[in-house]
């Protein structure tokens, strides 16, 4: 089965070479779609070199910075693999765990798989209030969708391609996570969750999500999980 990895990328020159090497080293037939979201730190030049070096890579350039959601929409649309997986361009999530994510789909048990940072695997100890925020947003999302996820905001989401290409997504930034979850829940799909490790980075390392994104996630939960359903 062909695996399409969709990688939104914005100003990740410090990590892009290492994460690309990790992705391409996985034992799958991989199509790597890197969607550069208007990087200004030289990342685009690096991507041009990587695309020339590796035939599995396709680089999609956004005309300006639009947000993770907009980058994912473009990547999902361009995907050609049997399975589509989301990978951030930093080093917080480990591509060595792809087999965990695709396993339930390959086995015919799942249509969608979420990788949970809070389901018992190892993780870097960092921000308490981030964990509280993740827990709160996941609870609110679960109440709206009637799913029992432990980590709605996780980057690691994996889909059968025909499933994700049916979902009409609208959010441009991090609100795409609860939007995706709400719309998938209404499709009566088989959703699985598997444990993953997590090596979180600090704001000094380049972490981008903030308080404003948390409020937007609440808005998205209400809009797509409650109002659209009713």
2-45, pLDDT tens digit by residue?
A: 999 999 999 999 999 999 999 999 999 999 999 999 999 999 99
Q: Kindly tell me if the per-residue pLDDT of 203 is higher than 70.
A: no
Which pLDDT band, with edges at 50, 70 and 90, does 205 fall under? Answer: low
The whole domain housing 160 covers 2-227
Which pLDDT band, with edges at 50, 70 and 90, does 229 fall under? Answer: low
Residue 40 to residue 46: CA distance in whole angstroms: 12
Average pLDDT over residues 217-225: 93
Phi first, then psi, for residue 43 (nearest 5°) are: -60, -40
Average pLDDT over residues 70-78: 98
What was the pLDDT predicted at 157? 98
In terms of phi and psi (left: phi > 0; alpha: psi -120 to 50; beta: otherwise), the region of 146 is: left
Which pLDDT band, with edges at 50, 70 and 90, does 211 fall under? Answer: confident
Say if residue 24 is exposed, middle or buried (CB neighbours under 10 Å; 0-12, 13-18, 19+): middle
The token pair at 152 is 């709605």
What was the pLDDT predicted at 222? 94
CA distances from 5 to 29, 87, 203, 221 (A): 10, 6, 25, 26
**In the 8-state DSSP scheme, what is residue 188?**
T
pLDDT in tens, 86-102: 999 999 999 999 999 99
What was the pLDDT predicted at 130? 75
Percent of the chain whose predicted confidence (pLDDT) is above 70: 91
Among the listed ranges 113-122, 174-183, 198-207, which one has the minimum average pLDDT value? 198-207
**In the 8-state DSSP scheme, what is residue 225?**
I
pLDDT mean across residues, the chain: 92
Among the listed ranges 106-120, 122-136, 171-185, which one has the minimum average pLDDT value? 122-136
If residue 10 lies in a helix (H) or strand (E), which one and from where to where? none
What was the pLDDT predicted at 122? 63
**In the 8-state DSSP scheme, what is residue 42?**
S
If residue 211 lies in a helix (H) or strand (E), which one and from where to where? helix 211-220
Could you tell me which residues come within 8 angstroms of residue 95 by beta carbon, excluding any fewer than 6 positions away? 5, 19, 22, 23, 25, 26, 87
CATH of the domain at 126: 3.90.550.10
Percent of the chain whose predicted confidence (pLDDT) is above 90: 81
Phi first, then psi, for residue 159 (nearest 5°) are: -140, 150
- Give the chain's domain count: 1
Q: Kindly tell me if the per-residue pLDDT of 207 is higher than 60.
A: no
**pTM of the entire predicted model:** 0.91
Instruction: Answer for the pair 208, 10: CB distance below 8 angstroms, yes or no.
Output: yes
Q: Kindly tell me if the per-residue pLDDT of 213 is higher than 70.
A: yes
Residue 41 to residue 125: CA distance in whole angstroms: 29
């Amino acid at each position: 089965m062909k695996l399409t990895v969709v990688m939104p990328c914005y100003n990740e020159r410090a990590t892009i070479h290492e994460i690309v090497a990790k992705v391409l080293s996985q034992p799958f037939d991989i199509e790597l779609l890197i969607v550069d979201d208007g990087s200004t730190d030289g990342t685009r030049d690096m991507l041009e070199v990587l695309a020339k070096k590796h035939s599995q890579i396709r680089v999609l350039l956004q005309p300006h910075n639009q947000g993770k959601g907009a980058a994912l929409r473009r990547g999902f649309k361009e995907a050609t693999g049997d399975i589509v997986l989301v990978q951030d361009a930093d080093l917080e999530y480990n591509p060595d765990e792809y087999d965990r994510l695709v396993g339930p789909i390959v086995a015919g048990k799942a249509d969608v798989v979420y990788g949970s940072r809070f389901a018992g695997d190892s993780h870097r100890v960092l921000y308490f209030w981030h964990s509280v925020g993740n827990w709160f947003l996941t609870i609110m999302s679960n109440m709206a969708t009637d799913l029992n996820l432990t980590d709605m905001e996780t980057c690691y989401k994996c889909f059968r391609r025909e499933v994700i290409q049916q979902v009409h997504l609208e959010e441009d930034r991090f609100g795409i996570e609860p939007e995706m979850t709400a719309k998938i829940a209404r499709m009566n799909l088989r959703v699985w969750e598997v444990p993953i490790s997590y090596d979180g980075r600090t704001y000094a390392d380049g972490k981008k999500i903030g308080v404003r994104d948390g409020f937007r996630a609440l808005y998205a939960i209400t809009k797509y999980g409650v109002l659209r359903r009713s």
